[in-house]
Amino acid sequence: MTEPIITIDHVSFDYVTYTKQSGLSGSWHDLFHRQKQRVPAVQNVSLQVAPGEILGLLGANGAGKTTLIKLMTGILPVRAGSLQLLDDQHPFQKRPAFLRRIGVMLSQKSQLAWDLPPLDTLVLLREIYQVPHDRFTDWLAFLTDQLAVTAQLKVPVRKLSLGQRIKFELICALIHTPEILFLDEPTIGIDVSSQANIYRFLQQLNRDTQMTIILTSHNTKDIEALAQRVAVINHGRKIFEGTPNGLIAQYASAATLEVVTDAPLTTLPAHVTQVADSQYLVDAAALTTLPIDPQHILSVHRRNGNLDDILTRLFSQEVAP
Amino acid sequence: MSYWQTFQNALTTTLTYRGNLVLRLLTVSVEIAVASFMWLAVYRFSGQDNVAGIGSSQMVVYLAVVNVLALIFSASPIFTLSALIRNGNLSVMLLRPINYFRQSFWTYVGQATPYLIIYGLAIAFISPVFRRGWGYGLASLGLIILTYVMFFSLISGVSLISFWLVQVWPLRPVLNALFLLLGGQAFPLQILPSAWRWVALNPFALAGNQLTLLLLGKLSVHQLTIDLAMAAGWLVLAIVVVKVAAAFVPMRGSAVNG
């Protein structure tokens, strides 16, 4: 592995929250005796990311993915352990030189001025990040063209669709060509066509510029399309790190294939069980080849072998403290 | 240049809602009219043609100017920061390699520009400020700028309370009342008994009462000097408050110091 661009070493972070009792008497009690509670959001996580890599962070709601991104970007301070991004060991100090090298798109948080066209915000960002004017013009033309939003550059943000807004948020995060791009739920709430457009664009960007991308998403399609490596976070702990295929290989439970054919089979081969009209279960452990004519196969999946199934099972497991 | 762009965007946003701008000016005009009628009635029934050295026609001008100043010296940064904290967008702002407060200042200037133009035109063409010599004119300009920066800094200091208070909207009527009473929006502070004259040195009075007197040409060189010193003093205090308070909130690094 080349020199990592991100090194997270045994990092932990606790949130302090206050519990609230229900009802009027509870509220009265809370006025004078608030119950403080420490919530461990990230626990002893270690991770390394190589330059040019696309890392997917997977986890259920509240698993600690976004907190980890906030620690990496310096929004939150590291309470325990150490964290180094690029050559900065203290992202929380938010040195301008450090901030100019990262781009961040946080889900449901907006950089865009609601009443102004996206172009006005982008021009502001050009000045903030000191992007040369000619480079800005060319880069912006490229980005808007790739994401198919050139026509919306001068339309007030409040009049844009959600998909168009998300694309402009992505452009805001990229306008200064950061070395590391953090994307928190980049495709939430947008249609499949726009999702495909974003996937293709990010793949090209990563390939052409070697930009490192850290991606969190609940949408496993995002991870499957983009991530070269994944880290699974559950209850603040890292429970898996490896390739998406490695994750499937490790957690797919049974060597059983689900096969869908274009018509019901006339004869049922050995080790094949019919579950519906044209749907069969094949015991892969007992066979070396598929005993069904490939011309009639519509799809083959390993049972419990898709990311959604695996993650559902993983997230429902409690992790021992 | 980034601050210039911030200013432009804030001004454009203000002008985008032309209806709101016009409505606000109309509302203020009604407030001025009501206050003026009330004071004209006071003049009429008291049988005096001046109160604390201010004639009835000057009182109407005073009320008009002080109400425009109330628009310029708004408490909007408190509510802007509170909204950013509540909706989580503060994270996005803090990730920009730019000083949050400086950016906020230029937004403040951009939002107040239409009213600043009204006050500026009045100072340039109606007020006797520049007819009292260039020294006085420049000192007056200095007082206006210093008071503006001071008031913004003070409001920014107060805005940091948003990190501890979930809702800051109850502060709005309090701040309005402070400007109304301590800023001289309801009445010129000169009518207070001499033992209470020190009230005119509070930040709200510098922003409202004193800048109105300046425009009316009623500020002596001595008063102007005292006001300049007080504005500088309040500014230093406000900067200290912001620096100290910012140390306890998650706004480290360039967001505050850069």
Q: What is the pLDDT of residues A239-249, one digit of tens each?
A: 989 998 888 88
A92 contacts in B (CB within 8 Å)?
A: 252-253
For residues A264 and A228, is the Cβ–Cβ distance under 8 A?
Answer: no
> In whole angstroms, what is the distance from residue A245 CA to residue A224 CA?
9
Say how many CB pairs under 8 Å bridge A and B. Answer: 79
B88 contacts in A (CB within 8 Å)?
A: 106, 108-109
CB contact under 8 A, A115 and B252: no
Greater confidence, A129 or B82? A129
Q: Residue B227 pLDDT > 60, yes or no?
A: yes
What number is the average pLDDT over the span A20-29? 79
Band the pLDDT of B258: cuts 50, 70, 90: very low
Rounded to a whole number, what is the distance in Å from the CA of B252 to chain A's nearest CA? Answer: 6
A110 contacts in B (CB within 8 Å)?
A: 89, 92
A99 contacts in B (CB within 8 Å)?
A: 95-97, 254
Mutate to test the interface with B, among A98, A106, A124 (most CBs of B within 10 A): A124
CB contact under 8 A, B89 and A109: yes
> In whole angstroms, what is the distance from residue B104 CA to residue B70 CA?
19
| Res B66: pLDDT | 92
Which domains does chain A carry? 50-80+90-250 (3.40.50.300), 254-303 (no CATH)
What is the percent of chain B where pLDDT is above 70?
A: 96
Question: Please, which residues 68-127 of chain B have a Cβ atom closer than 8 Å to chain A?
Answer: 87-89, 91-92, 94-98
**Summary mean pLDDT of chain B:** 87
Q: What is the pLDDT of residues B123-168, one digit of tens each?
A: 888 888 888 888 999 999 999 999 999 999 999 988 888 777 767 7
What number is the average pLDDT over the span A46-59? 93
Domain positions in chain B: 2-255
| Res A254: pLDDT | 67
Nearest residue, CB atoms, B252 vs list A94, A99, A116: A94
Nearest residue, CB atoms, B16 vs list A70, A115, A128: A115
CB contact under 8 A, B92 and A113: no
Give φ, ψ of B217 to 5 degrees: 75, 25
> In whole angstroms, what is the distance from residue B70 CA to residue B63 CA?
10
> In whole angstroms, what is the distance from residue B18 CA to residue B16 CA?
6
Greater confidence, B242 or A173? A173
